């Protein structure tokens, strides 16, 4: 069932409202990043196609590997739904490339070492682990339509089953 862009509470089942202010119906912040193969990739490259933009803390760590493999395994199903996938972390391009090769990932990964794009999407912030606070990438996902509007936000991602949930939401969108 398509979500009503005016109903901000529609985000609640995905884990609550977006804490950074970006919400359903907002224009996705523009970006240009370097991807794992060294080429540039920008939001404008996805014009007319839906995009899953997912943020992950660190390449080649257990949760991030599972998430990347899940999205990669579902790439064809996302493509059939008219949706591309882009994973983003603050890791250097070389780490992204090594991660992609090691796990035979079929989706592009992009690097935001400056953290400017991560901050624009509210994916950079304070985290706590074992009682210690630190700054890092917050695992979250955005589904963006072909017009560059955010149609769904998952602000606090739990990896198991996440790619399936995002695919289900992508299938609800019109294919451009």
Strands (E), the chain: 32-35, 40-42, 50-55, 83-89, 109-111, 124-129, 132-137, 140-144, 150-154
Amino acid 176: pLDDT: 65
Specify the pLDDT at position 70: 96
Residue 33 is among the residues annotated as catalytic for this protein = no
For residue 59, give Cα distances in angstroms to 10, 13, 67, 99, 119: 31, 28, 10, 6, 19
What pLDDT tens digit does each residue of the chain (176 aa) get?
333 333 333 323 333 344 447 999 999 999 999 999 999 999 999 999 999 999 999 999 999 999 999 999 999 999 999 999 999 999 999 999 999 999 999 999 999 999 999 999 999 998 888 898 989 999 999 999 999 999 999 998 999 999 999 999 999 998 76
Tokens matching residue 103: 């796990």
Tell me whether residue 14 is in a domain. no
Query: Is the distance from CB of 77 to CB of 83 less than 8 angstroms?
Result: no
* pLDDT of 13: 32
Q: Is 99 part of any domain? A: yes
What is the domain count for the chain? 1
pLDDT of residue 127: 87
CATH code assigned at 44: 3.40.30.10
Tokens 């590997």 — which residue? 65
* Residue 104 exposure: Cα atoms within 13 Å on the Cβ side: 1
**Residue indicated by tokens 């999407």:** 121
- Asked, for residue 53, whether it belongs to a domain, the answer is yes
In a domain, 18, yes or no: no
Q: Please report whether residue 176 resides in a domain.
A: no
DSSP 27: B
Beta-carbon contacts of 170 under 8 Å, excluding residues fewer than 6 positions away, are 50, 52, 78, 81, 82, 83, 143
Tally of CA atoms within 13 A in the half-sphere of 38 that contains its CB: 1
Residue 110 lies in a domain: yes
- The answer as to whether 79 is a domain residue is yes
What is the rounded distance in angstroms from the CA atom of residue 140 to the CA atom of residue 138? 6
Specify if 166 maps to a domain. yes
**Domain, as residue range, for 155:** 26-171
What is the structure's pLDDT at 156?
Answer: 87
Backbone angles phi, psi at 94, to 5 degrees: -65, -40
Q: What is the pTM of this model?
A: 0.85
Distance CA 14, CA 73 (A): 22
Active-site residue identified among 18, 51, 64, 95? 64
């Amino acid at each position: 069932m398509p979500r009503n862009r005016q109903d901000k509470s529609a985000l609640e089942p995905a884990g609550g409202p977006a804490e950074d202010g970006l919400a359903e119906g907002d224009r996705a912040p523009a970006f240009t990043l370097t991807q794992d193969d060294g080429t540039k990739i920008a939001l404008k490259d996805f014009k007319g196609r839906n995009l899953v933009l997912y943020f992950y803390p660190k390449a080649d760590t257990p949760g991030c590997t599972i998430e990347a493999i899940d999205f990669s395994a579902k790439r064809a199903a996302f493509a059939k739904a008219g949706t591309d996938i882009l994973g983003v972390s603050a890791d250097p391009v070389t780490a992204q490339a090594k991660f992609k090769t090691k796990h035979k990932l079929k989706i592009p990964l992009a690097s935001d070492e400056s953290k400017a794009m991560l901050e624009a999407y509210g994916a950079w912030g304070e985290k706590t682990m074992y009682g210690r606070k630190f700054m890092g990438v917050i695992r979250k996902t955005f589904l963006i339509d072909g017009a560059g509007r955010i149609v769904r936000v998952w602000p606090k991602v739990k990896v198991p089953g996440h790619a399936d949930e995002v695919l289900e939401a992508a299938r609800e969108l019109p294919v451009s």
